[in-house]
Amino acid sequence: MRKSITRSSVLAATAALALVCSGVATAEGSLASSGSSGSSGSTGSSTGSSAPGPQEPFAFTGWDICPLDDLLNKDPETGEPVPTPGGCQTVIVKTGTMKLGNLTVDLDPDSMMIAGGNRIDFGPPMSWDFFPKNGGVYANPIQVPGGALGVGSAEDFGLTRIVASVEQVGTPTFDLPSPDNMSVKLPIRIKLANPILGDNCYIGTSQNPVALDLKVDPTTGDGAGPIPSGEVGTHFSNYTATATDFAVPGATGCGPLGSLDWAANLRAGLPAATGNSLTTTVDMYTASPWLVYQSQQNQ
C-alpha cells in the first residue's frame, strides 16, 4: 500500500540524508569519542592521567595523556615503576577520503587522534594491550554546513540544525610489527543528532559497529625522526594508512520507533557489506613508557 508523506516527515528525511553525509566526514575525518551533540569538543577518557583532553585541530603536544599508571609494572616491594616493554602511542589523522556506501567524502584536516599506550603480552602469540580501555579516541562533533536543507545559515535554524559525531564502542586494538608498520582496529558508531531524528539515531551499534582496520603502509612517509617538540620518542610523519572492505550496517533508531531509518539508508546506500574504504595520511608518535616516566620525573 502506498504511504502518504507529511511535510514534517519530508523535512526529517532530508535531515537524515544530510546527516549521513556529515556523519561520514566526522566518522573518518574526526572520529569523535563521545556523543555530546551540542558540545564544542569531546574527548576520550584517559585512565591514569588528570590532564584535560586535547582540542581540535589535533596535534601532538606531549605525553601527558599517555596512561603510565596502566602501562608500567611496579616493583612488588617498593611499589615504584620499573622498566616495562610497551609504548606510548599517538596517531593523528591529517587528511583523507572515505567511501561509505555510495558516498565519497573528504576529511577535515587534523580532525582525529588516537592516543594512549600499549603493554606487550609476549604470548605466544605476542599481542598489544591498549590503554585506556574506555577512551583514547578524540574528536569534536561537527555542525553540518547548510543544515538539513542545504541552504545558507540553515544549519543554525531550529529543526534544520544537524550535528554528527562518532562514538567509540570498543577498545582500539594495535598490531605493531614495527613502529612504521602497524594497524589499528577501531569499532565505532556514528550518531546523527537532530530534533526530529531524536537522541538515538546511529549508523552502527555497540553490538554491530563499523569496524575499521586502519593499516599503515611502511613504504610511504618521511621516515623516522626526533619529536620536534623535544619530547622523548620518535616521530613518523606523512604515512599513508588505509582501511578497506569494512562493512557498514544500516541506520537504527532514527525518528520515532526508527521510522526514519529508511531515509538515512536510502541516501547513503546502506547497509553496505563491501566496497567501503578509508584512505588517510597520518603522523605517528611513539615512546617507551619507561623513558616517558623518567623524563617526567626530571621536569
Whole-number Å distance between alpha carbons of 148 and 160: 5
Grade residue 162 by pLDDT with cuts at 50, 70 and 90.
Answer: low
Q: What integer is the mean pLDDT of 7-30? A: 41
Whole-number Å distance between alpha carbons of 82 and 85: 10
Residue 120 has a pLDDT of 85
- Which pLDDT tens digit goes with each residue over 257-292? 889 888 778 766 889 999 998 899 999 999 999 999
- Which pLDDT tens digit goes with each residue over 56-87? 688 998 999 999 999 998 888 888 888 888 99
Whole-number Å distance between alpha carbons of 75 and 152: 61
Average per-residue pLDDT in the chain?
76
104 has pLDDT over 70: no
Most confident option among 1-5, 125-129, 157-161:
125-129
> What is the pTM assigned to this prediction?
0.76
Grade residue 22 by pLDDT with cuts at 50, 70 and 90.
Answer: very low
Whole-number Å distance between alpha carbons of 33 and 111: 12
- Which pLDDT tens digit goes with each residue over 25-41? 333 333 333 333 333 34
Greater confidence (206 vs 105) lies with 206
Q: What integer is the mean pLDDT of 5-31? A: 41
143 has pLDDT over 70: no
Grade residue 15 by pLDDT with cuts at 50, 70 and 90.
Answer: very low
Among the ranges given (9-23, 141-155, 219-233), the one the predictor scored with the smallest mean pLDDT: 9-23
Residue 63 has a pLDDT of 95
Residue 79 has a pLDDT of 85
Residue 5: φ, ψ to 5°: -120, 120
Pairing of strands 234-244, 277-287: antiparallel
Whole-number Å distance between alpha carbons of 62 and 232: 9
Residue 150 has a pLDDT of 42
Whole-number Å distance between alpha carbons of 146 and 268: 18
Cell of 91: 596517531
Whole-number Å distance between alpha carbons of 161 and 196: 10
Q: What integer is the mean pLDDT of 79-108? A: 83
Grade residue 21 by pLDDT with cuts at 50, 70 and 90.
Answer: very low
Calculate the alpha carbon distances from 93 to 6, 159, 236 in Å.
42, 32, 12
Q: What integer is the mean pLDDT of 32-52? A: 37
Residue 98 has a pLDDT of 75
- How much of the chain exceeds pLDDT 90, in percent? 32
Burial class (CB in 10 A: 0-12, 13-18, 19+), 149: middle
Residue with cell 538539513: 148
